[in-house]
Amino acid sequence: MFATLLGGLPRPPIPESGTAEELVAAALAAQEAAGLEPLADGGLWGSDDAQTAAERWRATTALTDLVVKAVVEGPWSATVRAVPDADPSLFERELAAAAGAANAALRELVAAGCPLVEVHEPAATSIGADLAARARFVDAQQRLLDGVHETHASLAITGGSADEAGVETFLAAPYASLALDLVRGPDNWRLAAAAPRATGIVCGAMTADATGDESVEILLYALNYAASTGGRGPDRVGIATAGTLEGVSWDVAERRMRRLGEAVRLAGAPPDERVAAVDPRAVNARSAALGRSDVRPARRPPKASG
């Protein structure tokens, strides 16, 4: 199991004169301290169009010894954002162009040695039961991943539920994992449950809202439930923020990153340590009634006589 970000970060508390590199370095240091990996640049390189996704990934990787993922906007969301009210023929032309451009960016990332690419498609929540939209989405994702090998491609869906479109829509292209917002899109659990065992699930279970439940118990539940779906197991499951943290303070963002890291540590800890660390109501009904843990250690076997 692992913990990561599923979106950006607010500006770290460094002087206003700080460079983009210093901002990214501070974000990486905070993620490392919290126990997150793979790391992300937090969207802190700025909007320099001269810097490609591969160049940003190389620059970020140079600042840490841990694994860094690349984050790119998917062609569907890029087209919806650029031409929201366009006629169908214009939309399809723009979608094909966006898929081609994103494919070129992914090929460059693979050539640079990037081990993990996260494709963000928040506009996928609007596809619903529209068969034509499903078909266009599938075609765009297949164009996007055409010829993209030797990297882990993950499809991230945030901002709401996309389950009505069906898991086959999102896995028609060869994505190795799905990263799902399970806070604003709780019905995305259906996608997680329907995904094949070999497909990884990244649970976006840490709230991205300014206020929201940050309890580690929710994160542990998400990790364990995702691991149980289809016999997936813990090796194919991760925990993440449910979207960008750009709208919260740095202190809140840092605390939430620490919660993510704590959840992964507890998930792999001995049972007694997990029980001691969580709210007793999360252990069992009797503990909830008593307001304390009622889980007793296993009885030791009697000593052999003689």
Mean pLDDT across the chain, nearest whole number? 90
What angle in degrees, to the nearest 10, is found between the helix axes of 88-112 and 75-82? Answer: 140
Contact call for residues 31 and 257 (beta carbons, < 8 A): yes
Does the pLDDT value for residue 271 go beyond 80?
A: no
**137-151 tens-digit pLDDT:** 999 999 999 999 999
HEC-encoded secondary structure of 36-68: CCCECCCCCCCCCCCCCHHHHHHHHHCCCCCCE
Average pLDDT over residues 221-236: 94
User: Which fold does the domain 2-290 belong to in CATH?
Assistant: TIM Barrel (3.20.20)
Contact call for residues 119 and 179 (beta carbons, < 8 A): no
Average pLDDT over residues 108-113: 97
17: three-class secondary structure by DSSP: coil
Strand partners of residue 39 = 68
Does the pLDDT value for residue 283 go beyond 50?
A: no
User: In this predicted model, which residue has the larger pLDDT, 241 or 268?
Assistant: 241
Per-residue model confidence (pLDDT) at position 289: 36
Question: CA 46 to CA 258: how far, in whole Å?
Answer: 25
Say if pTM beats, i.e. exceeds, 0.75.
yes
**285-297 tens-digit pLDDT:** 334 333 444 444 4
Q: Would you list the domain boundaries of the chain?
A: 2-290
Q: Is the peptide bond before 38 cis (omega within 30 degrees of 0)?
A: yes
